[in-house]
Structure 1
């Protein structure tokens, strides 16, 4: 791996990372949790938000793109199960790195095999003009397995209250701040939604997989496309709840989570020998 131009080991805010440099963008992936911590176009601002108060391992890293697997939150698990699964607090291994002819980079990473779990996970990343990420899950056991998962993206924004998200119009969402009750999205999403202004914790079901985050403060749009994902999760705790979260606090206005996943009623059932691929792509463009 040391011979791959544009790939090196380094640090980002105290976290050990694989640093990727291409003619089009840079990225950083944490060895702890296999977590994308940074992606920045060469001519633009940082796309991912990483909490200035993020705690060192073994605490999960607040920011970037945590990998929630093989379950989301504690869905289908005991109340004392680790939130969002196991792999975000394990050391990951870089299995393969390849530099394309144009200088773009392709990486393949994996967490250790988890004893007693018949699911195996491999993650692929492409860093170039876009950021592309895939989670490939395989059932190596003899029985069907129920899987929930998410790529828990923390997008950096100029002001969460000024940011909008398109592509959710008309979808049904389950509102965790309303006891999980179902509602229908009316128009473009914004944090100051009159139904529950200033905070958001929603699972959009049967989602179409194409969203646009518009950020007028930073003057950009982030186009998000997903495949193998039937859910979209939007989360920002808002000012009051963020005060009680040590690694968010006043930073709540600096990010918005738009997550690709299969959660809630959109769980995946993997037959023995079957595979499932969850994929997302970011493209950053000026407004």
Structure 2
């Protein structure tokens, strides 16, 4: 649907407006008393979340991001599904699954009595997806803008057999200086160090960044905090349906190697991801559903 058609069917005057964004990809602009958010209908990807009164976006999007059909948008909150990371079967299928570079359909919008704005997008299996992954499915994302940003990914198994998935809400947070940021809440948690041969280690103290990071934390607490002294804020990250969390920063060499990422942008971001990753995989019975969600809220420090 065009932005004009989406506004006619799903727009909410002054609160939810659809417009043509970079590359002609349609974006939804959400506004409520507590803040504003931008969502790309392509990839169903939250690109921006600015709480009311905040000087800086909570989310990071690369200035070199691709806004082109068939390409992933580097930043915001990409949806990784039905696997996280490389193709688990080594068949050459796309990294992080096949829904982050696909057009989703807007299926609903609502403004609640308390002023919250909700946007729902969905995608279902097609002949093309079944060539990549045989299962019949319906996937939807519910994005609610209120006192926090709430994002929930809902998987429905429409096939006759159990469905096993990995997934992530791969959130890129903007930070003032990644060298000074830290993640609180993972102390004592076992993690898989993907940069050290997949060895399991135990987190000592808070998570800080002084080099490349790619870690899957196993059985973390449901609430993590990203402290950012430069922007004078603490971002509370509350997850549900997740038994793992990923912390990632590309650092110097990988940042320079990515064509859709600035050489120095690694200093401005840190991924703290709500996941079912590594050994944390989800089995969904025929006709069943599974919900993976995250709530994000910031306070000044």
1:185 to 188, 203, 211: 203
Shift of 1:78: 2.5
Report the equivalent of 1:68. 80
Number of the residue aligned with 1:50: 61
- For 1:241-256, list aligned pairs within 5 A: 241-248=254-261, 249-256=263-270
Residue matched to 1:122: 140
**If the length of structure 2 is used for normalisation, what is the TM-score?**
0.90
Cα 1:53/1:273, change in 2 over 3 Å = same
TM-score by length of 1: 0.94
The correspondence for 1:145, drawn from 163, 172, 181, is 163
Contact 2:155 2:289 in 1 (8 A): yes
The structure 1 segments of at least 4 consecutive aligned residues displaced by more than 6 Å after TM superposition are none
1:100 is matched with 112
8 Å CA contact retained: 1:34, 1:111? no
* Mapped partners of 1:4, 1:166: distance in 2: 38
The alignment's C-alpha RMSD in Å is 1.4
5+ long unaligned stretches in structure 2:
1-8
The whole-number CA distance in structure 1 between the counterparts of 2:89 and 2:78 is 19
Q: Does the CA-based 8 Å contact 1:135-1:278 persist in structure 2? A: yes
- Figure out how many residues of one structure are paired with residues of the other and give that number: 282
Matched ranges for 1:1-287 at <5 A: 1-5=9-13, 6-14=15-23, 15-44=25-54, 45-57=56-68, 58-115=70-127, 116=130, 117-192=135-210, 198-248=211-261, 249-287=263-301
Report the Cα distance in structure 1 between the residues aligned to 2:79 and 2:161, rounded to whole angstroms: 24
Q: Confirm or deny: 8 A CA contact 1:129 1:283 kept in the other structure.
A: yes
5+ residue gaps, structure 1, are 193-197
Q: CA deviation at 1:102?
A: 2.9
Contact 1:173 / 1:202 at 8 angstroms: preserved in 2? yes
- Displacement of 1:79 in angstroms is 4.2
Whether the 8 Å CA contact 2:167–2:277 is kept in 1: the answer is yes
SS of residue matched to 1:21: strand
Q: Describe the SS at the equivalent of 1:186.
A: coil
1:81-121 deviation per Cα after TM superposition (whole angstroms, max 9, x unaligned): 11111111111111110011232201111124334322321
Aligned 8 A contact 1:92 1:110 in 2:
yes
| 1: CA distance, partners of 2:163 / 2:10 | 38
